[in-house]
Amino acid sequence: MQSLKVNLRLVFGMDARSLAAFRVGLALVVLADLATRALSLTEHYTDAGVLPRSALIERPFDRWHLSVLMASGAPAFAKAVFGACALAATAMLVGWRTRAATVATWVLFCSIVSRNEMILQGSDTVLRVFLFWAMFLPLGAVWSVDRARAQEGYEPPRHVLSAATVAVQLQTAYLFWFTVFLKTSRDWWPDGTAVYYALHWNELATPASQLLLGLGPEFLRFMTLFVFVFEAAGPFLFFVPWRVGPVRTVALALFACVFVGFAVNFRLGVWPFAGAAALLPFVPGWLWDHLGRRVRWDPSRLSTAIRARLGARPLAWRTRRATNALVAAALVYVTWWNVCTVTNKVRMPADVAVVGDVLRLDQTWNMFAPGPRHDGGWWVLVGQRADGGEAFLLPEAAHVGWERPSWPADVYASHRWRLYMWQLWFRARSAYRPYLARYLCDRSRDNRERDDDLRRVSIYYMREQTLADDVIKPAEKTKVLDHDCGR
């Protein structure tokens, strides 16, 4: 019994070194994500872009998704917010005033995410919810500037057990468990064709996907079953209370293979890396101990230099009971929220749901759920010039014209543009289509190098449908908007 209690502490607690790795991984993914967003900062986050603040005031995605970027639509202000978030994430990365840096990163990142929900994906949910839990963990206890500055006599924690360590672990499990509940399409079961259709989804698939498709339908059915079963059963490996170190190491290796598969076969931006960062708290102390025997490194000189430059300061890591109670309540709330996403028998009152919206704890793990799309395509934006000529206008694209691009997923300058154009196809987002047309008209009007003012913008979607046996129906041209630039 005593041995079981010790093992349960190992299961639900976390090694301080794993928390430090979690801090570094999370901060690096946030910085990488900010860098990709910054490629289209003016277009996606200012009044001069495709979604001005007036559009959100008139048609908000959710009025409780708050963003400091709504205070100004100027590019300079957006750059300042991005810069502040990058500085906070950098401080979090090196572990300088770690808790304050984590709080600032969470607040600013949620503001950026909430400003334009036309360009979001699963990685944004992963980052904002794990940043929330990270605020309650001693991420800077080791391998940090804070640790280097700690006063004499400070003893870093070897193992941390708190409500926050339990919350992070269950949140990671929810990511996989609830997506299984949402995968209700026959493509997953009993047909077993989900991987086949996912690899044919040309708005996400990469050339590497063709290698898997070439392995035949029986292999793809096996992969569908494997993914479904692994997402359901894999997280349980993290909670096995016997031989915790070796079992968790094997589990981490298996999950790493899954994320590598996602990164190789689909254009998902930072999503695979965000998912991998969420697994870092599970790295067992057993593995760190084995690595430590092989890699010898004495950080004392660096710590002495940091302390001499920045001075010593007290460092405490113990979690208060009130904090544990708060985190436990948040965990119950998140569990309730996730259950509501998979069944109509459990509901959350609107007044209670506001809490999750404001704190950005709202989450739905619906990647390839209820099933992958059976269609895909590419966009053609045509402008009629003042001289009667036509111009292809797809913003920031490497491909223009009516002919099919070799790889529709690769025609955009950034993954965020790909997400934006993908969202335009859905009827629920149709109200935002005119803002893209207005942006294109304004961009042409502001162009002083050529006399190519536009009179009209027409937006078409070239929709391809995937059938069985690798049959792709010829693309159907669908006009989704016709906009007069004079209006």
**Is 369 part of any domain?**
no
Q: Residue 370 domain-assigned? A: no
pTM above 0.85, yes or no: yes
My answer on whether 166 and 221 are in the same domain is yes
- Listed residues 359, 388, 419: the one ending a domain: 359
Q: How far apart are CA 143 and CA 24, in angstroms?
A: 10
**What's the domain count of the chain?**
2
Q: Are residues 415 and 291 in the same domain?
A: no
Q: Are residues 128 and 271 in the same domain?
A: yes
Residues 6+ apart with CB under 8 A from 382: 390, 391, 392, 393, 457, 458, 460
Task: Select from 325, 359, 393 the last residue of a domain.
Answer: 359
Tell me how far apart the alpha carbons of residues 133 and 187 are, in angstroms, rounded to a whole number: 34
Per-residue pLDDT of the chain (487 residues; tens, 9 = 90+): 546 566 778 889 999 999 999 999 999 999 999 999 999 999 999 999 999 999 999 999 999 999 999 999 999 999 999 999 999 999 999 999 999 999 999 999 999 999 999 999 999 999 999 999 999 999 999 999 998 888 776 778 888 999 999 999 999 999 999 999 999 999 999 999 999 999 999 888 999 999 999 999 999 999 999 999 999 999 999 999 888 899 999 999 999 999 999 999 999 999 999 999 999 999 999 998 888 777 766 665 666 666 666 666 777 677 788 999 999 999 999 999 999 999 999 999 999 999 999 999 999 999 899 999 999 888 888 888 877 788 887 666 656 678 888 888 878 878 899 999 989 888 889 999 999 999 988 887 766 545 457 889 999 999 999 998 888 898 899 999 999 997 6
Contacts 24+ apart (CB under 8 A), 444-447: 444/383, 444/485, 445/485
335, 379: one domain: no
Query: What is the C-alpha separation between 478 and 375, in angstroms, rounded?
Result: 13
What are the structure tokens assigned to 21, written together? 């790795």
Q: Is residue 368 part of a domain?
A: no
Characterize the bridge pairing of strands 476-484 and 454-465. antiparallel
Residues 286 and 423 in one domain: no
Q: Do both 32 and 80 map to the same domain? A: yes
Are the C-beta atoms of 105 and 92 separated by less than 8 Å? yes
* Pairing label, strands 476-484, 390-392: unpaired
398/349 same-domain check: no
Task: Please classify residue 449 by burial: count the beta carbons closer than 10 Å to its beta carbon, then call 0-12 exposed, 13-18 middle and 19+ buried.
Answer: exposed
Are 168 and 358 in contact by the 8 Å Cβ rule? The answer is: no
For CA atoms 205, 208, 210, 211, give the dihedral sign: negative
Assess whether 353 and 383 both reside in one domain: no
Boundary (domain end) residue, out of 300, 334, 359:
359
Domain that holds residue 172: 2-359
